[in-house]
């Protein structure tokens, strides 16, 4: 899956499941969209489903630094790359 395809899927999830309106890739998820820790846990579950595997505790802890949609995309690419190595 390319970054563009990932972006489309993540934007779709955020718009449909979290009711984001016109999210920008550099928007602060918390400040601009009211994204909270419960939302983050739910999003990680959706990312696991999308990737087809369960994230390790360490991988989930890495998600704590996510602030923007670009961060989400970087996070997914990093995990996929590490798993393929």
Q: What is the pLDDT of residues 26-71, one digit of tens each?
A: 999 999 999 999 999 999 999 999 999 999 999 999 999 999 999 9
Domains, the chain, ordered by start: 3-84 (1.10.1200.10)
Q: What is the pLDDT of residues 11-31, one digit of tens each?
A: 999 999 999 999 999 999 999
Question: Taking the model in full, what pTM does it have?
Answer: 0.92
The pLDDT value given to residue 57: 95
57-83 per-residue burial string, b: 16 or more CB within 10 A, e: under 16: eebeeebeebebbbbbbebbeebeeee
Nearest of 2, 23, 3 to residue 13 by alpha carbon: 23
Provide the H-helix boundaries in the chain.
Answer: 3-17, 29-33, 37-51, 57-62, 69-84
């Amino acid at each position: 899956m390319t970054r563009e395809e990932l972006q489309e899927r993540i934007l779709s999830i955020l718009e449909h499941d979290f009711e984001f309106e016109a999210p920008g890739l550099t928007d602060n998820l918390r400040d601009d969209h009211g994204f909270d820790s419960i939302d983050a846990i739910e999003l990680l579950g959706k990312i696991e489903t999308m990737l087809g595997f369960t994230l390790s505790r360490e991988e989930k802890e890495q998600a704590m630094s996510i602030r923007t949609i670009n961060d989400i995309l970087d996070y997914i690419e990093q995990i996929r790359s590490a798993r393929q190595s």
